[in-house]
């Protein structure tokens, strides 16, 4: 029994010295420290909460306006890089405020995060780099990468209601390396 107490106290004291990291649970519980990177971007995306798609993401995932806009913008940025200009134009015409959403994507250092590592991996890495950039953007916004799939689902539902199967298919084609 004494050994158990001794081991437990050693483990607890060791854990107390490890710096705390903000995680996905902080997004759910509303911990403001976890969303600090997104708070800085709020001024550039102000007013996007009135956008129906951004509002849906905010309410369904519990994200801030900056997080929802930046996350959607990073998904649209990936779609834009994978679709031709005509297809992306059709997709973006179905989403109000596409330019503002694209502008809400955080800027990333070219050699940082998962996308930076993949950029050094040659042809094999480049095929996954777009998806990695989405994950890196989510991280910069203080959003867990587990939110990617639900956010895509919300976007698909929105597009289905607004424009039909054709735009949903374009979105999924554009996000092919991610999904």
Spatial neighbors of 154 by CB under 8 A, at least 6 apart, are 53, 56, 57, 60, 61
* pTM value > 0.85: no
Nearest to 151 by CA among 96, 74, 36: 74
The token duo for 33 is: 């420290």
Mean pLDDT of 145-151: 96
Q: How many CA atoms lie within 13 A of 12 on its CB side?
A: 6
Mean pLDDT of 63-90: 95
How much is the pLDDT for 57? 96
Q: Dihedral, CA atoms, 168, 134, 76, 57, nearest 10 degrees? A: 70
Mean pLDDT of 78-93: 94
Q: What are the residue ranges spanned by the domains of the chain?
A: 22-174
How much is the pLDDT for 50? 82
How much is the pLDDT for 110? 52
């Amino acid at each position: 029994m004494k050994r158990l107490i001794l081991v437990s106290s050693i483990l607890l004291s060791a854990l107390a010295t490890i710096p705390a990291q903000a995680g996905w649970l902080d997004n759910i519980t509303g911990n403001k420290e976890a969303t600090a990177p997104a708070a800085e971007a709020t001024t550039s995306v102000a007013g996007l909460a009135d956008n129906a798609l951004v509002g849906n993401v905010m309410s369904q995932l519990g994200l801030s306006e900056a997080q929802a806009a930046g996350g959607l913008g990073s998904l649209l940025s990936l779609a834009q890089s994978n679709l031709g200009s005509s297809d992306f134009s059709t997709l973006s015409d179905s989403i109000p405020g596409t330019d503002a959403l694209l502008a809400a994507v955080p800027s990333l250092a070219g050699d940082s995060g998962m996308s930076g590592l993949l950029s050094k991996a040659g042809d094999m890495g480049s095929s996954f780099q777009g998806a990695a950039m989405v994950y890196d953007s989510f991280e910069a916004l203080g959003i867990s990468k587990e939110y990617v799939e639900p956010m895509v689902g919300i976007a698909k539902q929105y597009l289905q209601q607004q424009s039909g199967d054709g735009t949903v298919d374009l979105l999924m084609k554009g996000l092919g390396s991610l999904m």
